[in-house]
Amino acid sequence: DVDVRKVSILGKDSIHCGFHLIPYIVQTVIDTLPSSTYVLVTDTNVGNLHLSAFQAEFDSRKGNARFLPYVIAPGETSKSREGKAEIEDYLLLNKCTRDTVILALGGGVIGDLVGFVAATFMRGVRFVQIPTTLLAMVDSSVGGKTAIDTPHGKNLIGAFWQPEYIFIDAAFLETLPAREFSNGMAEVIKAALRYLRYTGVSRSVLPRIAPIQPTLSSIPDLKAVSLTRVQTAAIWNETEFAALESRAAEIFAAIQTPSVNFAGRTEATRSPAQQLLLSVIAGSIGVKAHIVTIDERETGLRNLVNFGHTIGHAIEAILTPAMLHGECVAVGMILEAEVARQLGVLSQVAVGRLTRCLKAYNLPVSLSDPRITSLPAARSLSVSKLLDIMKIDKKNSGPQKKIVILSRIGATYEPKATVVADKVIAKTLSE
Ligand code: ADP
Ligand code: ZN
């Protein structure tokens, strides 16, 4: 019996979280997604580290089916029309048909690109997300958004295409560079900030969750509520945020100490730090999965996950690729919290707490961070340039800019992004 924690999305328990899941992943795929051909696409970094384990599992379990691994170059440049065509040509050359199942093993680049290939190959084939970065685990692999970049901008061509499964194997984080881990923590902290219910965990897995209870304080609520209602409600609020704040060192330690492979037996075999890490990951996935479930095509509510992203994206547009997405969002969160403070909605104390928490995960919190000021691209960071870029944000209605305004740690001012005057944003940016 494998120790897996399931999170539901769009009415199905398709997100499976745990440690050292590769044998479980391969067996589940073969058992429940029967096919003549399994294609695994990864990049050279992840492939060098983890492909052989998948190869071995498929070799011993696949029967007559084919297992075709395909390795591409790492980095955002692969997420292009050419990169997509290259994978498609490989599939066509190998006579892949409609029954092909594609596995995307890697970070957000692989997930977005391979997901889009799956969405259009033979008018759509089944695919599986196996995210290997924290950012992809808690954010990009959940929600069914797939896309490629063009010279006109990022993620401009794509489709909504839901994976059959999202397998979250936290053991992959042990090979992830520390900077990439911090990058993902920005989204984890963002998820912990808002007061949100999520319909996360089905009753059948509750007994497995019980041992994790002491790690996050709201888990007892989850249990109490879910025993009486099928739709569970865990609440991420100030208490979860406090756990992230106070246990940063432990969470870092959880990925820096290689875990023993217990072949996913029982939770008793995990260290407390690993259990905490898994709770934190599953918690933020639960928040995202809930929002996707109630607002799959991103109309209004799903915009709430964009806290920190209005200003963060503008910063990222100027500083990419030197600064990573989560790093720009971390600065964006503080600046947007400052906007909320200017508006008299959020307290200085709350801004200070958020700042300290992001710093604890080694994230930048202002545009004057030396990691930013030392970059040549930082010379183009001006208030007018940032405001200009914010004009083309997808959340906008006409020229008005929208920002998710926090009213305190654990709540937003409105159940959607708020229209904010340019002069308020400009004042915050110039301070
Ligand atoms: P994201 O968009 O999720 O941040 P990318 O797909 O750009 O991520 O991946 C970031 C970098 O980390 C890439 O160079 C990728 O090859 C590498 N990488 C991804 N997962 C791992 C892992 N588990 N261990 C080591 N390196 C990884
Ligand atoms: Zn983001």
Task: Check which CATH number belongs to the domain holding 368 and give it.
Answer: 1.20.1090.10
Question: Do 183 and 135 have their domain in common?
Answer: no
Paired residues of 160 in beta bridges: 145
Q: Is the C-beta atom of 110 inside 6 A of ligand 1? A: yes
- d(CA 119, CA 100) in angstroms, rounded, equals 12
Residue that is last in its domain, among 151, 174, 197: 174
Residues 6+ apart with CB under 8 A from 31: none
State the ligand closest to the CA atom of 324: 1
Q: Is the C-beta atom of 176 inside 6 A of ligand 1? A: yes
> Would you place residue 288 in the very low, low, confident or very high pLDDT band (cuts 50, 70, 90)?
confident
Atom of ligand 1 at shortest range from CA of 140:
3
- d(CA 302, CA 288) in angstroms, rounded, equals 9
Question: Do 47 and 95 have their domain in common?
Answer: yes
- Taking a C-beta distance cutoff of 8 angstroms, is the pair 17, 285 a contact? yes
Catalytic residue among 45, 237, 303, 306: 306
**For residue 109, what are the domain limits?**
5-174
Question: Do 276 and 323 have their domain in common?
Answer: no
Rounded to a whole number of angstroms, the distance between the first and last alpha carbons of the chain is 56
Question: Do 153 and 200 have their domain in common?
Answer: no
Question: Do 120 and 142 have their domain in common?
Answer: yes
Q: Is the C-beta atom of 71 inside 6 A of ligand 1? A: no
pLDDT at 294: 79
143: which 2 tokens? 């929600």
Question: Do 194 and 151 have their domain in common?
Answer: no
Q: Is the C-beta atom of 109 inside 6 A of ligand 1? A: yes
For 15-24, how does the pLDDT look when each residue is reduced to its tens digit (9 = 90+)? 999 999 999 9
Q: Please give the distance, rounded to the nearest whole angstrom, from the Cα atom of residue 202 to the centre of ligand 1.
A: 31
pLDDT at 225: 30
> Would you place residue 261 in the very low, low, confident or very high pLDDT band (cuts 50, 70, 90)?
low
pLDDT at 284: 86
Which of 40-49, 231-240, 342-351 is predicted with the least confidence, judged by mean pLDDT?
Answer: 231-240
Q: Is the C-beta atom of 69 inside 6 A of ligand 1? A: no
For 99-132, how does the pLDDT look when each residue is reduced to its tens digit (9 = 90+)? 999 999 999 999 999 999 999 999 999 999 999 9
Q: Please give the distance, rounded to the nearest whole angstrom, from the Cα atom of residue 59 to the centre of ligand 2.
A: 37
Which of 170-184, 242-256, 303-317, 339-353 is predicted with the least confidence, judged by mean pLDDT?
Answer: 242-256
Burial of 288 (0-12, 13-18, 19+ CB in 10 A): buried
Give me the CATH number covering residue 69.
3.40.50.1970
> Would you place residue 419 in the very low, low, confident or very high pLDDT band (cuts 50, 70, 90)?
very high
Which of 170-179, 254-263, 352-361 is predicted with the least confidence, judged by mean pLDDT?
Answer: 254-263
Residue that is last in its domain, among 149, 174, 199: 174
Question: Do 144 and 13 have their domain in common?
Answer: yes
Atom of ligand 1 at shortest range from CA of 45:
16
Q: Is the C-beta atom of 42 inside 6 A of ligand 1? A: no
194 is catalytic: no
Residue 239 has pLDDT above 80, yes or no: no
Residue that is last in its domain, among 266, 294, 322: 294
- d(CA 250, CA 168) in angstroms, rounded, equals 20
Catalytic residue among 6, 194, 288, 395: 288
Number of domains in the chain: 3
Residue 191 has pLDDT above 90, yes or no: no
**Mean pLDDT computed over every residue of the chain:** 85
Question: Do 268 and 392 have their domain in common?
Answer: no
Q: Is the C-beta atom of 49 inside 6 A of ligand 1? A: yes
309 is catalytic: yes
Paired residues of 166 in beta bridges: 15, 129
Ligand 1, residues 72, 132, 259, 329: which to mutate, most atoms within 8 A of Cβ? 132
Ligand 1: which residue has its CA nearest to atom 26? 176
Question: Do 318 and 218 have their domain in common?
Answer: no
The stretch 328-338 carries a mean pLDDT of 97
The neighbour count for residue 261, using CB atoms within 10 Å, is 12
- d(CA 41, CA 39) in angstroms, rounded, equals 6
Q: Please give the distance, rounded to the nearest whole angstrom, from the Cα atom of residue 67 to the centre of ligand 2.
A: 33
The label of the residue with tokens 């970070």 reads: 107
